[in-house]
Amino acid sequence: MPKTIVRDGVRELLEEGGAQLVDVLPSEEYAESHLPGAINIPLKELNRETTARLRRDEPVIAYCHDYL
């Protein structure tokens, strides 16, 4: 079951190394702004092929833009 994570948790995982940030917003929104090092895989394109570049044994952190 995916775990919800807050900002400090994201920072900790990134500092530990290996964590992968996935921006699931449309590519236009990703181009405007994204977290450092994040890769863009829009939600509708999330499949086995597009996620092939991600390491399956390392943490994956998904984020978007619709919380506040």
Partner 1 sequence: MSPRAAWRLEGLGFSKVYDYAPSKVDWFAAGLPMEGELASVPTVGDVARRGVPTCAPEEKVGEVRDRIQGTGWDRCVVVNEERVVLGLLREKELAADPETTAEEAMRFGPTTVRPDVPAGKMAERMQERGTASVVVTTPDGELVGLMYREDAERPYNTGSPEHA
Tell me if 39 contacts partner 1 by CB under 8 A.
no
Q: In Å, what is the CA distance from 37 to each residue of 1, 3, 43, 46, 68?
A: 25, 21, 18, 18, 23
Binding track, positions 8-27, relative to partner 1; x by CB under 8 A: -xxx-x--------xxxx--
Other Cβ atoms closer than 10 A to 59? 15
3-class state of residue 25 by DSSP: coil
Shortest CB 18 distance to partner 1, Å: 9
Kindly list the residues in this chain that would bind partner 1 in the complex (CB under 8 A).
1-7, 9-11, 13, 22-25, 30-38, 43, 46-48, 51, 54, 56-68
